[in-house]
Amino acid sequence: MLNFFYNSNLFNWIEKLIKFINSIFFVLLLISLSFALIFSPPDYLQGDSVRIMYVHVPSSWIGLASFTFLAISSILSFIFKIKNLKLIIKSIAPIGLMFTCISIVTGSIWGRPTWGTFWVWDARLTSMLILALFYIIIIAIHKYIYDEEKANKISSIIASVGLINIPIIKYSVEWWSTLHQPASIKIMGNTTIHSSMLMPLLLMFFVLILYCALIFLMKYKTEIIRIKKKNLKRL
Amino acid sequence: MLPKKVKKRASLFTVFLSISVIGVFLILSALNDNILYFNSPTDIKIKQDIDYEKKIRVGGMVKKNTLNINDQEIKFIITDFKNEISVSFKGTIPNLFAEGKGVVAEGKLKDKKFFVADRILAKHDENYMPPELKKIMEDSNAK
C-alpha cells in the first residue's frame, strides 16, 4: 500500500490521470461556457453583467479552498515531516494565487458598472487581497530560500497564520457592514440564486476544479522530475 | 504512539496557532469601527462625538417614493427601517442605483438628519433571478 506513495509509482498514475482529464476537459469547458454565456438568462437587475459571476464565484471558492488545503498540508508537513506534502504545497500555491487574482480582477470589472467603483477598502475585498499576499509570500519563500528545511518551516508558520484569514474572508460580509453582498449560496438555509443560474455556476465550478487538478498534476510531475534530476547530479 | 519529536512539534504548533488567533482577534476588535465600511442611520443617531468635517459613509436602502432628481441635484432618503437620513448629491450615479435598493453614500454630515454626499455607490443584494421570474413575483404581490 505504501508503495503507492513512492514517486516513481505515483509518476505513472499522474501521467494516466493527466491524459484522462485532458480528454474530457475541453468538451466540458465548451458545454459549461456556452451555458454560462449564452443559454442562462440575464439577471433582472444587472442584465448581462451577471455572467461575470460564473467565473468570479468559482474562482473565489477555489482560491479559498486551495489555501485551506495548502495550510493544512503545511501544518502536517511541519509536524510529521512528510516529503510528498512539500511537493503538494509547492504545486498548489501558484494555482491558488492565479484563481485569487482572477477573482479580484473579475470582481473589479463587475463592480465598476454595478457599484460604480473598481475597488473599495471594505472587509471582504481587503481580506481577499491579503489572501493573495499570503500566496505571494509563500511562493517567494519556496523560490528564494534554498535551504529546503528552513523554507518549509517558515512557510508553514506563515500558512498557519494565513489560515486564520480564511474564516475572516468567509464571514466578513456578515460580521461587518461591507459593500460586497452576502453569500447567495448557503449550506444551511435558502439559496437566493435562481436554479437556472445556479446550474451553470456549479458546472463552471466543476470545470475549473478539473482545470486546477490538471495544472496541479502537471506541476507535481515537474517537481518529481526536478528531484530525480537533482539526485542524478549527486551521483 | 507518536515519537517524542513529533509531539513536541505538534504542541509547539498548537501554542503558536492559539497565540496568533488571539492576536488577530484582538487586532480586529480594536479596529472594529474602522472595518465597518459604512454606518447605518441608526449608528449615526446613537453616535455622540460626530466630526462634521470628516468624511464618512452612510448606507442603507433608498426609501421608496423619495427619490427626487432635478437638473442640479439628486435628493433621496436613506433608511434602515428604523431611522432615516436625507441625502443630497451632485454627480453621476451607478446603474444599479434605484428606489428600494441598497446604497452607500460618501460625504459629510451637515447635521444628524442631513447628509451631503460627493460619491454614491450602489449596493447589490444577494438575490439573482431571471427577469421573467421577477415579473411574475411582482404580479403576484400586486394582486
For A4-60, the pLDDT digits (tens) are 556 677 888 889 999 999 999 999 999 999 988 888 888 888 888 889 999 999 999
Query: What is the average pLDDT across A129-150?
Result: 92
Average pLDDT, chain A: 88
Report the pLDDT value the prediction gives residue A105, as an integer from 0 to 100.
Answer: 96
Instruction: Say what the alpha-carbon torsion angle A157, A163, A165, A171 is, to the nearest 10 degrees.
Output: -160
Q: Which of B9, B17, B92 shows the shortest C-beta gap to A160?
A: B17
Q: How many angstroms separate the CA of residue A131 from the nearest CA in chain B? A: 15
Q: How many angstroms separate the CA of residue A218 from the nearest CA in chain B? A: 31
Q: Which of B13, B37, B119 shows the shortest C-beta gap to A123?
A: B37
Helix pair A83-114, A53-80: axis angle to 10 deg? 150
Residue B128 has pLDDT above 90, yes or no: no
| Buried/exposed code over A129-143 (b: 16+ C-beta within 10 A; e: otherwise) | eebbebbebbbebbe
The residues pairing with B122 across neighbouring beta strands, listed in sequence order, are B103
- pTM summary value: 0.88
Closest-approach residue (CA) in chain A for B10: A79
Q: Are A117 and A175 in contact (CB under 8 A)?
A: no
Question: Among residues 128-187 of chain A, which lie with CB inside 8 Å of chain B?
Answer: 157, 160-161, 164, 168, 176-179, 181-184
Residue B143 has pLDDT above 60, yes or no: no
Whether the complex's predicted ipTM surpasses the cut of 0.90: no
Instruction: Say what the alpha-carbon torsion angle A181, A185, A187, A188 is, to the nearest 10 degrees.
Output: 70
Q: How many angstroms separate the CA of residue B111 from the nearest CA in chain A? A: 22
Is the CATH code 3.40.630.40 the one for domain B41-123? no
Report the pLDDT value the prediction gives residue A1, as an integer from 0 to 100.
Answer: 47
